[in-house]
Amino acid sequence: MSIIIHVDMDAFYASVEVRDNPALKGKPLIIGSLPQERGVVATCSYEARKYGVHSAMNIKEAYRLCPNGVFMHPNFEKYRAVSNQLHEIWNTYATASEYIALDEAYLDVTDSAGTWERACDFAHLIKRRTLEELKLTCSVGVAYSKAAAKTASEEKKPDGYFEIPTAQDFVDLIIDRDVRVLYTVGAKTAEKLNRAGIHTVRDIQEHRDEVIRSFGKQGEWMTQLAFGIDDRKVSPYKPEDAKSISREVTFQEDVDDYSFISDVLLLLAISVERRAARVGLYGEGVTLKLTFSDMKSITRSKLIPASRAAAVVHKEAGRLLDQVPHKPVRLVGVGIYHLVGENGRQLRFEDFMPEMKERQEEYTRAALERLGHRYGLDFAGNLDKIFHAETLYRTIEYMRKHR
């Protein structure tokens, strides 16, 4: 039998900010965009949740519900640093770790613990060390499977602990709960199930054939979970498992100046290049994403010889930009896809001709220099700082206002 621990930090971003600024304690803290900006809630404190605020909510709606809340931008560099510290603690106890986000992970402790009792000791140690060493709380579930461990960690939030030793214990816990307790069931799937008269996990069990007939493979998976069956393994994340590497930005006011959008694409392309270089990946395709003022989005893509060079990404994204209808733009993004590692890519001309790589780098340097003159910014001297998420956003907004 497998023994899986699921760890989920409590309101992670907000908790980190409260830890670092005790004056925020007890206040409805909302992290994401500011009320006067476009955007959504990234996360919020439990005090803000009492007002109905939740992640992914439009920031204007969050402000309507909680006008006295404390609104602030996220500091992703800080959260990543804290996440790395968390991983060091978690990895002490696991033979395999699968990180779902900066603040959440599945830990396989089957072999490292050896017994159920020892696994539960590990879970308590994780909670204690997280509090003592990082001054943060987490909710932890111990179970026989990933789905059950996830359910267990949510059972007593915040700062919770719960165990689900067997499949029967899992079924007994969820049998009369709404179908959305099963992690594969989202809002649209639940709506379709409800229309068929299926509202609870018990209903899925009793209408197993109908669910499979209506939902195919997803239906098979739902019915298995309804009976407590989940044999998925904890799969450590590998960078090459990612489907794409991208970066996007939402403008605070719609933009119809496509030369400015091309300038923004350069900065996003450099950010993509840096991200790809950190994990040693190249893309065999470039994507351009635009969301227009009417909220309609389009994505355009083009296959390329494997590359991550900002010059290549910017040029190809620019060509794609030239082919789209010129309407006011709310959001722009660029990325690479069909990712391959160093060993998986075919050799390109620049592998044999270093001068080609130098030309790509010169293209980027010259383009940044032109941007610097155009907007009165020192890109060369502040490049590392600029590509932190919050600084990049502010830089682009400054450019938009001073174009």
Least confident of 106-115, 133-142, 246-255: 246-255
Cross-strand bridge partners of residue 162: 141
Q: Which residue has the tokens 């304690």?
A: 25
- The predicted-structure confidence for 291-305, as pLDDT tens digits, reads as follows 999 999 999 999 998
Q: Which residue has the higher pLDDT, 289 or 361?
A: 289
Q: Which residue has the tokens 């214990």?
A: 169
From CA 7, how far away is CA 384, in angstroms rounded?
A: 33
- The pLDDT > 70 percentage for the chain reads 93
The domain ranges of the chain are: 4-9+77-170, 13-75, 182-226, 239-401
Cross-strand bridge partners of residue 227: none
The two three-digit tokens of residue 240, written as one number: 């090459």
Nearest CA to 399 among 332, 341, 313, 335? 332
Helix axes 187-195, 208-215, angle to 10 degrees: 130
Q: Please give the CATH topology (third level) of the domain spanning 239-401.
A: Dna Ligase; domain 1 (3.30.1490)
Task: Choose the CATH number for 4-9+77-170 among 3.30.70.2740, 3.30.70.270, 3.30.300.30, 3.40.50.720.
Answer: 3.30.70.270
Residue ranges in 135-283 assigned as alpha helix (H): 146-155, 167-174, 187-195, 201-206, 208-215, 217-226, 258-278
- 32 Rama class: left (phi>0) / alpha (psi -120 to 50) / beta: left
Name the helix (H) or strand (E) containing 41.
strand 41-44
- The predicted-structure confidence for 117-135, as pLDDT tens digits, reads as follows 999 999 999 999 999 999 9
Q: What pLDDT, on the 0 to 100 scale, is given for residue 203?
A: 97
From CA 123, how far away is CA 140, in angstroms rounded?
A: 7
pTM above 0.75, yes or no: yes
The two three-digit tokens of residue 45, written as one number: 């404190």
- Residue 250 CB: number of other CB atoms within 10 A? 18
DSSP state of 189: H
pLDDT category, 383, cuts 50, 70, 90? low
Q: Which residues are catalytic?
A: 104
Q: What pLDDT, on the 0 to 100 scale, is given for residue 38?
A: 86
Calculate Rg over the CA atoms of the chain: 24
CATH architecture assignment, domain 13-75: 3-Layer(aba) Sandwich (3.40)
